[in-house]
Amino acid sequence: MLPNFHDKELLLTDKLSYRFGKPQRGDVIIFKAPQGEPCADIECEYIKRVIGLPGERIKVENGFVYINGKKLEEKYLPSDFLTANGSYLREGLEQKIPEREYLPLGDNRNHSRDGREFGVIPFESIVGKAILRYWPINTLGAMKKVPYSL
């Protein structure tokens, strides 16, 4: 999840909020690896950012993510960053996200296995959301809410 998260950082995961509410765009979630992923057989978990919500239409085109036809501004990524397509999110091909499913993407997309490849994930596979970074101590702090304009 570079540049926003680094290896060996420790995060506190809120496992209760989604019992009472739904994931929002920008939430950093922890979820069970989807079927067919290399570590799915050993109860592996992924950490990614929620980008697509149930009922939305999403596509990658010319290096940018579009939701319901509008370009998604992702200010937490470097300004020159381009999003590559994948086997699920193919260049210019719009996908509709089914109800109770979410599209997670990594912040380090050029080196991330995420929803562009394996597609959407069911709500039931979400373990929780990252709410606090606590190690190393000099990075201590709550996860900031990411503003989006669509």
Domain CATH for 20: 2.10.109.10
Confirm whether 5 is domain-assigned: no
Cα–Cα distance, 40 to 65 (Å, whole number): 27
4 is a domain residue: no
Q: Which two tokens stand for residue 138?
A: 């000099």
Residue 56 lies in a domain: yes
pTM of the model: 0.89
Mean pLDDT for the chain?
89
Element containing residue 95 per DSSP (H, E): strand 95-96
Q: What are phi and psi of 69, to 5 degrees?
A: 85, 0
Q: Tell me whether residue 79 is in a domain.
A: yes
Is residue 146, in this structure, part of any structural domain at all? no
Contact 27, 142 (CB under 8 A): no
How many domains, in total, are found in the chain?
Answer: 1
Residue 39 located in a structural domain: yes
71: which residues sit within 8 A by CB, 6+ positions away? 64, 65
Residue 22 in domain: yes
The band of 41, judged by pLDDT with boundaries at 50, 70 and 90, is low
Within a domain: 74: yes
Look up the domain containing 64 and give its range: 10-138
| Model confidence pLDDT, tens digit, residues 44-62 | 889 999 999 999 999 999 9
